A = this chain, B = another copy of it.
Amino acid sequence: MLKLSTKGRYAARALLELALRQSAEPVLLREIAKSQEMSEKYLERIMSAMVSAGYAQSLTGRHGGFILSKRPSEITLAQVLAAVEGPVNPVPCVGNPKSCGRSSTCAARDVWTRLKESVTSVLDSVTLEDLVHMHHDKQNAPGGTMYYI
Q: Could you say which of A2, A13, A104, A134 has the most chain B C-beta atoms within 10 Å of its C-beta?
A: A2
Check if B1 sits within 8 Å of A114, measured CB to CB: no
Stretch in contact with the other chain, from A43-51, A59-67, A88-96 = A88-96
The number of residues on chain A lying at the interface, defined by a beta carbon within 8 Å of a beta carbon of chain B, is: 52
How many angstroms from the CA of A5 to the CA of B91 in the assembled complex?
8
List residues of chain B with CB within 8 A of the CB of A54. none
Q: How far is the CB of A49 from chain B (nearest CB, A)?
A: 13
Q: How many copies does the complex hold?
A: 2
Asked whether A105 and B142 contact (CB < 8 A) given A119-B115, A122-B114, the answer is: yes
On whether A138 and B1 interact (CB within 8 A), knowing A114-B122, A115-B122, A122-B114, the answer reads no
Q: Does A139 contact B (CB under 8 A)?
A: yes
Q: How far is the CB of A130 from chain B (nearest CB, A)?
A: 8
